[in-house]
Amino acid sequence: MTPMRDTIFVNARLIDPAAGLDAPGSLLVSRGLIVDHGGALGIPEGAEVVECGGAVLAPGLIDLRAALGEPGAEYRETIESAAEAAAAGGITTLCALPDTQPALDDAALLQFMLRRGEATGSLSILPYGAATKGCAGKEISEFGLLREAGAIAFSDGSKAIAEARTMRLALSYARAFGTFVVQHPEEPSLARGGVATEGELATRLGLPGIPPAAEAMMVARDVALARLTRGHVHFAHVSTAAALDLIRAAKAEGLAVTCDTAPPYFDLNETAIGDFRTYAKLSPPLRREADRLAVVAALADGTIDAIASDHQPADPDDKRLPFAQASAGGTGLATLLGITLARVHGEDLRLADALALLTCRPAKLLGLESGRLARGAPADLVLFDAERAWKVEAGKLPGKAQNSPFDGRALEGRVLGTWKAGRRVFG
């Protein structure tokens, strides 16, 4: 195999939120690692020169939460197609949900996911282990074996761990193995049968509603369990002001409570389902404008620890159904950065703070070395033009899944290139 050439990025705007770096300069990569960066680096003999033209060079994005079709639903998406979409979105590390078919409740399946990620050459896949066998919410999985096999943390994916005793055990076991439990915060008996946020719009459209309190009730219960067990609970795709208030209070108390949200919950509100638009049918459902604004405020004040794509691929036939019968979920890999930058252009977030939510903050949560531009760190990088305009068009997105809730959305902020361990994988 031909040895990798050194690569030097010149005329870049280097942003590393972990180090508070935001300055023009160059960055040198050798053998897959960041060697040096600064304002006056010489160009090594034989190095590949990447002219950045003033574009932002930042750590590759770390996606804390994404569902993949493989294994079991390759007709929706394969790992290969997901890796293509991730590279186009600047994502170099992705945490894969375990509620696949079969569920990731077996050490061999976790190792399969890790190997499949390595085989792409462009994406590290960090699988969650199933918190319960089959993600059925009943019997606790073998946390020790799954952790040893590479489980980054534990979750039942898009299903809430509904029984309090089961969640208590999961938090206790996760603490013993130095990790955490990711919860889908929705009280299932309240949410059962619902497809939209309960309220005037759902009533007018004749759609069964899910009360926003279903989210806050599950958060309140699991905060109490975190206090009881001293375990770490992480709430996924938080979407309501009431839940965020509870999480903010739990953090102030010093409990091991963290959370993420996803772009739909700070960029869209329930009106996006308008005319029974199934691409905007998500789980949790889109909320009222007051909740969207509360999510934006929680991003700005640090209550929310990360922004995840919440990628949920769907086959077109799963979406071309009456709203109540259509599958919930939206694709989000290629649009993760662009939608996040919309909050920068809207002056809700500073650019460095927005990037922190996509890089060093999820890296810290997961205990990863990536997510920063430090010397000796992996050369997982994204180069993007924060001002370049483009339009989201379902059917023209990279990868197999096209069910974007942002279809038709005009954005500013385009990925120009992505590098994994120093190798260019997009652009």
Decide if 109 contacts 140 (C-beta within 8 A).
Answer: no
The DSSP element (H or E) to which 51 belongs, if any, is strand 48-51
Report d(CA 335, CA 258) in Å as an integer: 24
**Phi and psi, residue 5, nearest 5°:** -75, 150
CA 321 to chain CA mean position, Å:
27
- Classified by CATH at the fold level, domain 7-57+379-402+410-426 comes out as Urease, subunit C; domain 1 (2.30.40)
Which 8-state DSSP code applies to residue 261? E
Report d(CA 299, CA 297) in Å as an integer: 5
Q: Which residues pair with 57 in a beta bridge?
A: 14, 383
- Residue-wise pLDDT tens digits, 308-349: 999 999 999 999 999 999 999 999 999 999 999 999 999 999
pLDDT confidence tier of residue 4, bands split at 50, 70 and 90: confident
Report d(CA 19, CA 409) in Å as an integer: 33
Close Cβ partners of 19 (under 8 Å, ≥ 6 residues apart): 372, 373, 374
Q: Counting every residue, how long is the chain?
A: 427
Report d(CA 98, CA 148) in Å as an integer: 16
The DSSP element (H or E) to which 198 belongs, if any, is none
pLDDT confidence tier of residue 277, bands split at 50, 70 and 90: very high
Report d(CA 381, CA 362) in Å as an integer: 15
- Residue-wise pLDDT tens digits, 67-124: 999 999 999 999 999 999 999 999 999 999 999 999 999 999 999 999 999 999 999 9
Q: Which residues are catalytic?
A: 310
pTM: 0.97
Report d(CA 233, CA 239) in Å as an integer: 17
Q: Is the pLDDT of residue 1 over 50?
A: no
CATH no. for 61-366:
3.20.20.140
Q: Which residue has the tokens 């919950």?
A: 265
3-class DSSP state of 140: strand
Decide if 286 contacts 280 (C-beta within 8 A).
Answer: yes
- Residue-wise pLDDT tens digits, 189-205: 999 999 999 999 999 99
Q: Which residues pair with 235 in a beta bridge?
A: 183, 259
Report d(CA 110, CA 155) in Å as an integer: 13
Parallel/antiparallel/unpaired status of strands 7-16 and 21-30 = antiparallel
**Domain extents for the chain?**
7-57+379-402+410-426, 61-366
